[in-house]
Structure 1
Amino acid sequence: MRRIGGRDIVAAIVIALVTGAIFTSPPLQVLQGLSLDILTALRGKLIGDRRDPATSPVVVVAIDSETYETAPFQGSPTQTWTREIGRVLDSISEGGAKVIGFDVIFKNSIEQSEIPFGDTSFGSRVRGFDRDYLIALRRLSDSGKLVLGEILSNDHPEVPYRAQQVAVRNTVRALNVHTDHDDVIRRMPLSFAIEGRPVPAMAAELAARATGAKPEIAPSDATELSGRAIPSAVPNTMTLNFRGRGRDIPTFSFVDLHACAEKGDRDFFRRAFGGKVVLVGTVLNFEDRKLTSMRLSGGYDGTPAARCALPAPASSPQKARSDVAGVFVHATAVRNLIEHDATTELGFPMRTILTIVVAAIIACAASIFAPTGALAAWLVLTAVYTAMAVGAFVHAKALPLAEPALASLAALASMIGYRFVLADRDERFLRKSFALYLAPEVIDTMVASGKMPALGGEMRNVTMFFSDLSGFSSIAETMTPGELVTLMNEYLSAMTDIIEGHGGYVDKYIGDSIVAMFGAPADDPAHATNAVRAALRCHEKLAELNANHPAFAGHGLSHRIGLNSGEAVVGNIGSRRRFNYTVMSDTVNVASRLEGANKYYGTAIMASETTMAQTGDTFAWRELDAIRVLGRGEAIKVFEPLAETGAESAEQTKVATTYAEGLASWRAREFAKAADAFGQMAKTDSASALFAKRALAFTANPPPPDWTPVNTLEGK
């Protein structure tokens, strides 16, 4: 996670504004429709939302393939079906249908046929053929139960033939649909201007007659039905809500109803059509098919309703299709209007604002996180937002989906590009330039501040770590340059990994020596504990390398480590042209001297009393001596860390206990007793051997009365 500055915030805002405006602009308006398609598919997949067709206020009478293939309609032109259609319409009306709408247009009558038939035309020979049909139309129209359909067009209008128009007293309504730029029907017109006045479209007319209300224009220019405004994103249209994906519309085969009317089963018509809006239309596999918002999820040509007279034809189960018969588009519109279930879309301003907000969130995430993290944030946000949008769509509220998803993805890519080209250029330069010379924490500080490193320092409480290989010069003389480089690289890499793994910072390498500090540049309240733990682990690691690594075989390397804690100046120290992040103080010098003091006592790790005190009871210690190092007049007590508390071996405990007894006798001037105590461990412990020798010498030749038990070291 990176720290963002004011420039990044401005860039994120600008990117969000641009991407949001682009993806909601008119040229990309197809995305608004795509959102509806995706929401319809997701709702159907995740929620289901199927409704009982029996509760539908709308039913469809389908002039389907079964009708075309069954007598008396098989092989005869549709113009000859009018008497049968009139009979079925009467039965539907007597069954209690509220209103019947025609989604099929009979543009011609058989009575208009000009085909020669003897000395006259065929139409003249069958004059009066449509009389019963026209009477049925007049009767239904006069009762307010019939609306015929037409297609409005300047070039190729389709209208019922003139006799039908007269029969229904021009109760004809437009079947035109609203098609988006991608040829998909997602909305239905509510009215059309005819001769300067608004005339309801077919769906609006049928819904108005079914509810006994009249469509009105509110002061807000919204169309109202039964006192409720019809939601409209595009003026004078209604956004369709295909909640049941067509399966919520019962569908009756016309040929079965014809047989039912012949049979005189009035009860069936009352059960099927009582209180319903009926739409008559063609339902065929090749004619009048429409792409709708169900194109991604698949829609259905209704649900087959109960049969009356004819057995159901053997057929395979219904399958979802990308297109549906046009009559179901009108049926869905009527149901949406009656049930006040039309989809409510956000207007252009709110859609744009929401898209910009989502893009801004992702742009900010891209400015904070690495590209993979930002992509994960986009995936999570998109999933959460999609879930919210689907939840809203269940309640017929359509939030934009494609626009925010694509705009935020574009914002993500743009912000990553901006960071790569501009924002992170300085950071990459700093990290690349100083990665091998400065601690990661120092580089992070420089990146966060946006400033190049400069001279300066501060007082910090730190623990210094000095290590050096014992007798390495003589070992190096026996090795080739290649072998020496390999050995040193392996050794320094292993030790550095341990030091940095415990929070330390390697200041410098001096030949085979390592200078490191704990507690800077990163704050570490437990710097002394971590330094001691790192020293113990380094000692263990060297033993492992000696035993297992080919480059160390036969050399038996050993090292000495000195630890000291205290105040020190840390920071960028050097000249104005060249400097390094390092440390300076007496604390550093003492640690260096303690590293060298190990060779007097034969120990591997030596720590000052201040370091020991700052570790608390974390480790088991052995007090070695009180010494005065070169260049420092004040004596200091020095200690050897044995192991983590509780992890020390029995031998270490025995040596430490016996050594403590000898040291106490030594400081009490009981040199003979001290010599006996140290002598017990002299063969296995170099420090005990050193003190045993010194105690025996003082036994034979006691020191003066002003003697103090402090060992002054003459060299480094």
Structure 2
Amino acid sequence: MKQRKTRTLMGIILTLLMLIPVFQDSRPALLQRFEYDLYDIRLKHFAKREQDPRIVIVDVDEKSLAEQGRWPWNRAKLAQLLDQLFDHYGVAIAGFDMVFSEADSSIDLEQLATLLLEADQIPDLQRILQQLNPDQRLAAAIRERPVVLGYSFDRSDRQLQAGDPGIAVAHSSPLLDQQPIPRASGIIASVDGLHSQQAYSGFFDNPMVDSDGVYRRVPMLQMYQGQYYPSLSLAIWLALFDERQVIPEFEADLFGDHQALVSISAGGQKIPVDSSAAMLVPYRGGKGSFPYISATDVMNGLAEPAQLNGAIVLIGTSAAGLLDLRVTPVSSRYPGVEVHANILSGLLDNRIFSEPDYTVAVEIMQLLISGILLSVLIPRSSVTSSTLITLGWAACLTAFNLYAWQSLYWVLPLGYTLFLVLLLYLFQQTTGYFFETRNVKQLAGQFGHYIPPEVVRELGRQEEGVHLSGENRDMTIFFSDIRGFTRISEQLTPQQLTRMMNIYLTEMTHIIHQQHGTVDKYIGDAVMAFWGAPLKDDDHARHGLDAALAMLQQLPIVNQRLVAEGLPEVEIGIGLHAGIMSVGNMGSEFRMAYTVMGDAVNLASRLEGLTRFYGCPLLVSGELCERLPGYLYRQIDRVQVKGRLEPVELFQPISVANTEDADLAERVASFNQGVALYREQQWASARERFQQWLTHAPSDSVATIYLQRIAELEQNSPGKEWHAVFSHQLK
């Protein structure tokens, strides 16, 4: 019990120590990587794996470069691309996942030839030059259309200032400025000729790539020069609804000491974000989750109109040398343009994974419940049961986590809790093994010479421990003694006597151990043993009797060994009784012994002494005989022994019933009938039965005793009040 409490307390302390990194938000890197891996597994397993036709990627691919020329194209071609998308195909909106940070000074020769042929219609050269300006041509194509330009923020010490980010979607405020939103020191945006103050634009860089280099989250806002600007996907979302501002929403954190950003409202939808304004990318699947159309097919009018009509278009690149690849949970080579497409798809479906603002509280509760549950149950369970409990609890945690993921779009931490579950399991099993090993060593020191090793091991596994302080218990007690030992010992040298006792006691003790008995002590040539302690044994009476019968069967073999070594043969007497007795560590301050005491012990000792008087090698009490009816018994006598007022029935076990021949069973039954007739004072009939027994066993002392008693009682009638009890009070 004390060891279980110690293991439980140690498990709870370990759990509390594991909580510290959660409060400090400083989990070990390896465990954080494990959490990332579990997130990736869930994302890939529950991915939709089907294309979203509402968002189309117009791709500057190898085919486009082969037909339209090398990149970068003259921006007049991009203007032609936009004209086709809006005028011919009727797209809803177009976003550029690219930046035009430098002016385009190239000339489109085809356009120049056309203008020269029409020179008589153009009043001056200045107008020709204006029409040849590719930036103005692209700016004209962008103007009055829902087109979103991309740009990249710079966080280096160079503080680059190329272009303008456009309109801020949130202004500086005390609450917003307190949030750990990424802050930029510079910008690389499109040239002013392309970017008007009313145009939509958004950043496509990601300063929040996870520590393992994987794109799992993207900031929706970044701060630049005291204002907050949107990501490319958020800017496209705002442009769809013709909105210019987002509304940040805050809630008190777990400890209530400050307000944390939890979402931003845009386009009539609340977008869950973390305090850094970052959103988990709701990946639909691997590369190709959205339709791709070659840019040159759009420019040449060869694209399928049904694919583009009303679609959200993202213009990106996949040609060799231009490929914008990212490492994502679903692929290690994932087009960056599809990251924006996944965000827009998630917004359209309102399928945004998020970490609730009470995520830390959920994780703390998971850790506490796991720690307390396993710390309490594992020390009280076997290895198999504790393994099943641990696996079951881990399955429950995983099932709850997957339910929250799939049904509520909640991303709840799981890896750190599973690590604690595994750690507690290994810790509890290790400490359990340590305590069990120590217990076995202690028990071996106390019982190793008296009980078999397998019983010692079983004692070490007992959940309730061993009561050494003393208790009353129903047990079987055994005494055996070598007859005539004093005479034998006088004939032997000390060395011969030691050798004889070693051979005899080794064989007898081995039989006791085989029957799960405990050797209490050796008293010279006597052996005292018991069954039912320290390990409880519901079948202790049978084990004790089987041991006694086995000893008698083994004794001839022992005598053969003794004779072979020039030692005398031995005969033994055994007394056996079952009843309630006290068992425990008993003794003095100087010496303690695990032993038994009580009336039942004294009776067993008396039975062993009476074997000499009756000439029987084994005597058992009537109480033990009643418990084991499956044996063949010869009824010996009804006696009164020293220290006990109530008469005791004596029986001699012959064998297990039905294992001997029928003739022996009949003779035993006849003898027992003779005892019954004797007690009924039918002397003649009783004499006849005992004489019949002597014809088969002429040296039997019991039958001879009864014949002597009958002769005396016939001369002196005992009267009607006679109870046929023979007194051994002086023995």
Q: 2:546 aligns with which of 513, 525, 536?
A: 536
Task: Identify the range of structure 1 (678-687 vs 346-355) with the bigger mean alpha-carbon deviation.
Answer: 678-687
Q: 1:252 aligns with which of 271, 285, 292?
A: 292
Q: Structure 1 residues 471, 285: closer, same or farther in 2, change over 3 A?
A: farther
Q: 1:274 aligns with which of 297, 309, 315?
A: 309
Show the counterpart of 2:257. none
- Give the CA deviation at 1:224: 1.9
Show the counterpart of 2:266. 225
Q: 2 CA distance for matches of 1:676 and 1:632?
A: 33
Q: 2 CA distance for matches of 1:413 and 1:547?
A: 51
- Give the CA deviation at 1:498: 0.7
Summarize deviations over 1:72-123 as a string: whole Å, max 9, x none: 43xx23234x44433333333342322211112233354169xxxxxxxxxx
**1:459-608 alignment, distance < 5 Å:** 462-468=475-481, 481=498, 485=502, 488-500=505-517, 505-518=518-531, 530-540=540-550, 543=553, 560-601=573-614, 603-608=616-621
- Give the CA deviation at 1:151: 0.4
Q: Structure 1 residues 335, 577: closer, same or farther in 2, change over 3 A?
A: same
- Give the CA deviation at 1:591: 0.8
Summarize deviations over 1:155-183 as a string: whole Å, max 9, x none: 354323343224x8543211122223333
Task: Identify the range of structure 1 (663-672 vs 96-105) with the bigger mean alpha-carbon deviation.
Answer: 663-672
Check the 8 A contact 1:355/1:404 in 2, yes or no. yes
Check the 8 A contact 1:190/1:201 in 2, yes or no. yes
Q: Percent identity?
A: 20
**1:70-81 alignment, distance < 5 Å:** 70-73=66-69, 76-80=70-74
Residue identity matched to 1:576:
E
Q: 2:58 aligns with which of 58, 61, 70?
A: 61
Check the 8 A contact 2:221/2:277 in 1, yes or no. yes
Summarize deviations over 1:647-690 as a string: whole Å, max 9, x none: 77634532332112222232344444323323434355589663
SS in 1 for 2:417: helix
Q: 2:202 aligns with which of 173, 177, 180?
A: 173
Show the counterpart of 1:235. 276
Aligned length: 652
Q: Structure 1 residues 695, 265: closer, same or farther in 2, change over 3 A?
A: same
- Give the CA deviation at 1:18: 1.3
Q: 1:90 aligns with which of 72, 83, 88?
A: 83
Check the 8 A contact 1:2/1:368 in 2, yes or no. no
**1:612-691 alignment, distance < 5 Å:** 612-613=625-626, 615=627, 621-629=633-641, 635-641=647-653, 650-682=662-694, 684=696, 690-691=702-703
Check the 8 A contact 1:79/1:106 in 2, yes or no. no
Q: Structure 1 residues 424, 239: closer, same or farther in 2, change over 3 A?
A: same
Residue identity matched to 2:92:
K
Check the 8 A contact 2:7/2:431 in 1, yes or no. no
**1:23-62 alignment, distance < 5 Å:** 25-28=24-27, 31-32=31-32, 34-42=34-42, 44-45=44-45, 48-53=46-51, 55-62=52-59
Q: 1 CA distance for matches of 2:23 and 2:320?
A: 36
SS in 2 for 1:397: coil
Residue identity matched to 1:290:
R
Check the 8 A contact 1:16/1:357 in 2, yes or no. no
Summarize deviations over 1:381-419 as a string: whole Å, max 9, x none: 334423432343233222212211234445556667888
Check the 8 A contact 1:241/1:343 in 2, yes or no. yes
Q: Is 1:355 matched with 2:343?
A: no
SS in 1 for 2:153: coil
Check the 8 A contact 2:501/2:525 in 1, yes or no. no
Q: Structure 1 residues 483, 239: closer, same or farther in 2, change over 3 A?
A: farther
Q: Structure 1 residues 630, 533: closer, same or farther in 2, change over 3 A?
A: same
Show the counterpart of 1:185. 215
Check the 8 A contact 2:466/2:534 in 1, yes or no. no
SS in 2 for 1:78: coil
Show the counterpart of 1:143. 145
- Point out where structure 1 has 5 or more consecutive residues left out of the alignment: 114-123, 300-321
Q: Structure 1 residues 206, 602: closer, same or farther in 2, change over 3 A?
A: farther
Q: Structure 1 residues 110, 631: closer, same or farther in 2, change over 3 A?
A: closer
Check the 8 A contact 2:200/2:235 in 1, yes or no. no
Residue identity matched to 2:285:
G
Q: Structure 1 residues 400, 650: closer, same or farther in 2, change over 3 A?
A: farther
- Give the CA deviation at 1:202: 0.9
Q: 1:161 aligns with which of 176, 182, 191?
A: 191
SS in 1 for 2:79: helix
Q: 2 CA distance for matches of 1:546 and 1:282?
A: 99
Residue identity matched to 1:530:
H
Task: Identify the range of structure 1 (184-193 vs 580-589) with the bigger mean alpha-carbon deviation.
Answer: 580-589
Check the 8 A contact 2:104/2:134 in 1, yes or no. no
Check the 8 A contact 1:462/1:566 in 2, yes or no. yes
Show the counterpart of 1:434. 446
Task: Identify the range of structure 1 (104-113 vs 371-380) with the bigger mean alpha-carbon deviation.
Answer: 371-380
Q: Structure 1 residues 56, 77: closer, same or farther in 2, change over 3 A?
A: closer
Summarize deviations over 1:253-275 as a string: whole Å, max 9, x none: 42xx423542x346x13x21233
Q: Is 1:334 matched with 2:372?
A: no
Show the counterpart of 1:104. 98
Q: 2 CA distance for matches of 1:24 and 1:523?
A: 49
Check the 8 A contact 2:82/2:141 in 1, yes or no. no
Check the 8 A contact 1:619/1:641 in 2, yes or no. yes
- Give the CA deviation at 1:562: 1.9
Check the 8 A contact 1:535/1:605 in 2, yes or no. no
Q: Is 1:16 matched with 2:15?
A: yes
Q: Is 1:288 matched with 2:324?
A: yes
SS in 1 for 2:594: strand
Residue identity matched to 1:531:
A
Show the counterpart of 1:207. 237
Residue identity matched to 2:675:
L
SS in 2 for 1:199: strand
SS in 1 for 2:477: strand
Check the 8 A contact 1:598/1:604 in 2, yes or no. yes
Check the 8 A contact 1:465/1:562 in 2, yes or no. yes
Q: Calculate the TM-score normalised by the size of structure 2.
A: 0.75
Summarize deviations over 1:187-212 as a string: whole Å, max 9, x none: 11112234433332111122233456
Show the counterpart of 1:216. 247
Q: 2 CA distance for matches of 1:433 and 1:394?
A: 58
Summarize deviations over 1:512-541 as a string: whole Å, max 9, x none: 5432345556677x5xx6314431255247
CA RMSD of aligned residues (A): 4.6
Residue identity matched to 2:97:
D
Q: 1 CA distance for matches of 2:691 and 2:448?
A: 50
- Give the CA deviation at 1:42: 4.4
Q: 1 CA distance for matches of 2:639 and 2:650?
A: 7
Check the 8 A contact 1:629/1:712 in 2, yes or no. yes
Check the 8 A contact 2:578/2:624 in 1, yes or no. yes
Q: Structure 1 residues 326, 557: closer, same or farther in 2, change over 3 A?
A: farther
Q: Calculate the TM-score normalised by the size of structure 1.
A: 0.76
Q: Structure 1 residues 417, 534: closer, same or farther in 2, change over 3 A?
A: closer
Residue identity matched to 1:44:
K
SS in 1 for 2:193: helix
Check the 8 A contact 1:608/1:638 in 2, yes or no. yes
Q: Structure 1 residues 196, 552: closer, same or farther in 2, change over 3 A?
A: farther
Q: 2 CA distance for matches of 1:237 and 1:498?
A: 72
Check the 8 A contact 1:678/1:688 in 2, yes or no. no
- Give the CA deviation at 1:185: 2.1
